[in-house]
Amino acid sequence: MENEKRVAILIDSDNISPKYLRSVLSEVAGYGRITYKRIYGDWSAQNLSSWRKLLLDAGFLQIQQSRYAGSKNSTDAAMIIDAMDILYGGAVDAFCLVTSDSDFSRLAIRLRESGMEVIGMGEEKTPSSFVASCTIFKYLDVLTTDENETTSDDGDSVDASVNKPEIDDAGYMITDKKEIMLAIREFVQSAYASNMVDKQGVNIATLGSHLQKRFPEFDVRNYGFSKLSTFLESLHGVNLVYDGLKVFLTLDDKAAPVDKNYLLTLVNKILKENNGQIKLSELNKRIVKECPNFDIQNLGYSKLSAFLSDEGAFDIKWGTVRVRNRDVQ
């Protein structure tokens, strides 16, 4: 296919287990045609013997990088140099960097600044700095679990959310659902304001693409779901409309009252956008704009100011709300 993306896969063998190789190849195949397959390490080392058994069949070029004087950065340097050579060669459209090492954060940023799509893949231990540096980030632990659990014993397809652990408990750096819901509201409201919606609502394929750009690590499998539609159905305050193969989303303005945690997340977000302070009246308007059904009395308060005072994280003086100690969460 002429418009198919060309992808270079570069693997840091020092920081990735060989058990993930199949998941890496399967996932990257969905982004385009793999033109470079390179893996870096000291292949004379005994701890990489399990890698060697897999690489011949997978067609990877093994880049030998001997360690001198106990240096741990020799593999990093070779991978970075090769990445830049491939970039300037102009023969790829995207890079897949497979590592759990934060040392590659600057490389990811540099490739992204050059117009490359950077698909990061790493284990649960991957530092947030590398996750945030990529255009897209996939947790290998989740990809492998997804492959193992999407088929039942009798061969039938099953929903990956069944018997799948909560990812937050496992320690992954994923965005809270409340923050995602705020992003969805903003996107849908902006789409309607720009008249960029279908009659049925916002196409969830377009929404999914936006969420991926907004949150690099966003993947419904991180939350225990196999489909974007089932993930969205789990969120409070949205409606899905199915039209053949297309699915559309609208906001449910008649949803149940805004809960306390959601309100606090929204207030902190608004304050952060306004340098840590905002007029109380303006804050109330912003909340109502985001949540048309908002009523502070549903939380047991007669005024928004009383609710904020009780939370202890805000100072209110002369009609202005400020984050205490100016520490916006």
Condensed to tens digits (0 to 9), the pLDDT of residues 62-94 reads: 998 776 545 556 668 889 999 999 999 999 999
Average pLDDT value for residue range 225-254: 87
- Predicted local distance difference test score (pLDDT) of residue 258: 65
Confidence at residue 2, expressed as pLDDT on a 0 to 100 scale: 57
Predicted pLDDT of residue 254: 54
What is the architecture, at CATH level 2, of domain 6-149? 3-Layer(aba) Sandwich (3.40)
Taking 90 as the threshold, does the pLDDT of residue 314 lie above it?
Answer: no
Q: How is the beta sheet containing 238-243 ordered, strand by strand? A: 202-203, 246-251, 238-243
For the chain, the structural domain boundaries read: 6-149, 177-251, 260-326
pLDDT digits (tens, 9 = 90+) for 2-36: 578 999 999 998 889 999 998 899 889 888 899 99
For the ranges 162-171, 177-186, 210-219, 314-323, the lowest mean pLDDT is seen at 162-171
| Residue 257 banded pLDDT, cuts 50, 70, 90 | low
pLDDT tens per residue across span 32-53: 899 999 999 888 888 788 887 7
- Of the CATH numbers 3.30.450, 1.25.40, 3.30.1710, 3.30.420, which one belongs to the domain with range 260-326? 3.30.420
**CATH topology agreement for domains 177-251 and 260-326:** yes
pLDDT for the residue numbered 197: 78
- 156-198 pLDDT, tens digit per residue, is 333 443 334 344 444 556 788 888 888 888 888 788 777 777 7
pLDDT band at 146 (very low <50, low <70, confident <90, very high): low
Domain 177-251, classified CATH 3.40.50, yes or no: no
Residue 288 has what pLDDT? 82
pTM across the whole model? 0.64
Sign of CA dihedral 161, 162, 168, 173: negative
Q: Is the pLDDT of residue 235 over 90?
A: no
Q: How confident is the model at residue 147 (pLDDT cuts 50, 70, 90)?
A: low
In this predicted structure, what is the pLDDT of residue 42? 85
Lowest mean pLDDT among 65-79, 84-98, 244-258, 299-313: 65-79
Residue 152 has pLDDT above 60, yes or no: no
- Of 196, 198, 185, the closest CA to residue 244 belongs to 198
